[in-house]
Amino acid sequence: MVNKQFLPICMNDLKERNISQLDFIIITGDAYIDHPSFGSAIIGRTLEREGFTVGIIAQPDWEGIEDFRKLGMPKFAFIINSGNIDSMVNHYTAAKKKRHTDLYSPGGESGHRPDRAVIVYCNRAREAFKNVPIVIGGIEASLRRFAHYDYWSNKVRRSLLIDAKADLLLYGMGEKTIVEMANLFKYGMSIEKMTSIRGSVYATKDISDLKDYVEVPSFETVSTDKLAYAESYKLQSLEQDDIRGKTVVQKHNDRYVVQNAPQISLTQAEMDITYGLPYTRTYHPIYEAKGGIPAIKEVEFSITSHRGCFGSCSFCALTFHQGRVIQNRSQKSIIDEATVLTTLKNFKGYIHDIGGPTANFRHRACKIQEKVGVCRDKQCMFPTPCKNLIIDHTEYLDLLRKVRVIPNIKKVFIRSGIRYDYLIYDKNTDFFEELCEHHISGQLKVAPEHISDKVLDQMGKSKQEVFDRFVKKYTETNKKLDKDQFLVPYFMSSHPGCDLAESIKLSEYINEMGYTPEQVQDFYPTPGSLSTTIFYTGINPFTNEKVYVPTEQKEKNMQRALMQFKNPENYSIVREALVKAHREDLIGSDKKSLIPSRPSKANNHPKYQGKKHSKFRSPNAESNHVSETAPRTFTKPSLKEASKPDFKTTPKHSTKRASNLSPRKRQR
């Protein structure tokens, strides 16, 4: 059974534990959920295991400083994060509209954390206790560790270390880093001298002692020169490997921001320890009156099997945070956790997920990575799989087989996302068949994102033909198993490289499918991703090619509407887009047209009804539900090459694979 004692959150908790002063106090923008999907819980439990006392101040009132004093002054430092998500992403949609809910707050209420939470919390903590060291971490700090383009202010901002006036920034997944730092405090070292910790960033006026480092263009340069910004991003990204990576330096006025080399990856034994710590696995009972914290529902009965991703999609900042190298847990550790889940009071017999950023990436991409790190000059999957890539689902399948026979487990689902391109290249079809037979809850989510090679090249995604092969195989496999299961297509609009012509190609593809996306994700430029750099500069820093970038909101609205052309409410803007692109041939009554010649007030016009004879269908084709945080995007097979499988829209309530809002991403 799990330990039912939470980390201290108030003075009464300290008295009960006979603690006169805490070693560390974690300040976080999320409500306190003591579960291994949440960074504050992992860091707190990790420090506790090492013998340090730790308290949590969750979602403090930032209008004053009283909440920042509620646990007294920490002996060593405040550790501050914005929560599992960047606070600006948490607050605003891709259209910069205010969100009305917050899954990481009591009852899903918004307004429990400030914009740019790390900066605000640091200021208040400094006011509360002037001389206490401040350490920042989590996703907001990790992805903003260098000068970065800030979408919400539409300018380049300084390193968050400088803006927050913190003493030290920890980036990446921080268990080893936080323990090393904590032990240095225990041994009496001042934070000013902590300049050699891997996985950390510090500021200094003197770099004369540094050796073998890479200096990138300064903040002053990249804030005014987009070519320099693109070059800076490229140089930074090349050093984010724990074996090959060097120290990276960026000047900010009269100081230097120094990123030490990335922290050494966790071993399997260390991963097992992290996920075996005594979490209560739920939210603190103080939130019960408001109905709890919605974010726990997505992960309560899910299991993290690994971290990292070698897929390297351009729009995903995960490689800048977790890295390209897979770090996994042992089968025993995962089986033990699954067994624990069966003892929880709300368990109904279903494991919702066993996976990670990409479910079927369980091991390092190749043997070379184990010795010399990831390649600097090529990707593992793009544009085609590397010849050294190990494509093998055998161990993952063996794990799934073992978990699904545990007493009281009825079903084990995979919901964290399958890389279909990796799967389709596996010559052994056992995993594919058992995936369809045992591990899909009626629908499988995959994310080809687009169908235009021009756009896919900028996304770092496989060609359409690869997806066509997958859909054909998926259809054949389900037919063989006598299964009636859907594919959930995810599409993305307004990504760099996508103009109206490419958007219309995608719409024609959707029309051929007879499918209406219920959720559409607009590209969201967030710190740390290659796509954001292209968005800001108009240049792909790895190819030096100029890239078209849709920046005007009107065009973004057109691209999104084109993907939901069957919605009568979108008629005018879809027509305007087609006329602007000189594609009036798609206005009319034939089956290739997207919209009728005249608008229809009713949804019963033939152009707004899917192809009733087709197996491609949407259960709610007339819906205009648009999610700015929906999963990425997804396309269909070539109808000439594959019989049509069932396509289904994502339920309106779904938050799964919401790239920036899902706790499954382990953003810390």
Q: How distant is the alpha carbon of residue 129 from its chain centre?
A: 34
CA distances from 232 to 202, 214, 570, 601 (A): 18, 10, 41, 52
Structure tokens given for 540: 């792909």
Instruction: Tell me if 510 sits within 8 A of 592, measured CB to CB.
Output: no
- How many other β-carbons are positioned within 10 Å of the β-carbon of residue 84? 29
Residue 313 among known ligand-binding residues: yes
Instruction: Tell me if 534 sits within 8 A of 314, measured CB to CB.
Output: yes
How is residue 99 annotated by DSSP?
Answer: P
Across the chain, how many H-helices and E-strands are there? 23, 23
Structure tokens given for 164: 């927050």
Instruction: Tell me if 618 sits within 8 A of 652, measured CB to CB.
Output: no
String of b and e for 578-598 (b: at least 16 CB within 10 Å)? Answer: beebebeebbeeeeebbbbee
Residue 316 among known ligand-binding residues: yes
DSSP structure string for 393-407:
-HHHHHHHHHHTTST
Please, is 149 exposed, middle or buried when counting C-beta atoms within 10 Å of its C-beta (0-12, 13-18, 19+)? buried
HSE-CB of 453 using CA atoms within 13 angstroms: 4
State residue 323 phi and psi, 5-degree precision: 95, 170
3-state secondary structure 433-475: HHHHHHCCCCEEEEEEECCCHHHHHHHCCCCHHHHHHHHHHHH
Structure tokens given for 544: 């030096």
Residue 309 among known ligand-binding residues: yes
CA proximity to 551, closest of 570, 539, 536: 536
Residues 6+ apart with CB under 8 A from 140: 81, 82, 83, 85, 86, 87, 117, 118, 160
Bridge partners, residue 138, by sequence: none
Residues 6+ apart with CB under 8 A from 275: 36, 304, 329, 333, 337
Structure tokens given for 212: 């073998």
Instruction: Tell me if 641 sits within 8 A of 468, measured CB to CB.
Output: yes
CA proximity to 22, closest of 48, 61, 60, 58: 48
Q: What angle do CA 447, 30, 184 make, to 5 degrees?
A: 105
Give the chain's radius of gyration (CA, Å). 25
State residue 121 phi and psi, 5-degree precision: -65, -40
Instruction: Tell me if 79 sits within 8 A of 43, measured CB to CB.
Output: yes
CA proximity to 265, closest of 240, 296, 286: 240
CA proximity to 39, closest of 317, 295, 261, 344: 295
Indicate if the alpha-carbon torsion angle 229, 171, 80, 665 is positive or negative. positive
The annotated binding site is made up of 309, 313, 316
The annotated binding site for [4Fe-4S] cluster is made up of 309, 313, 316
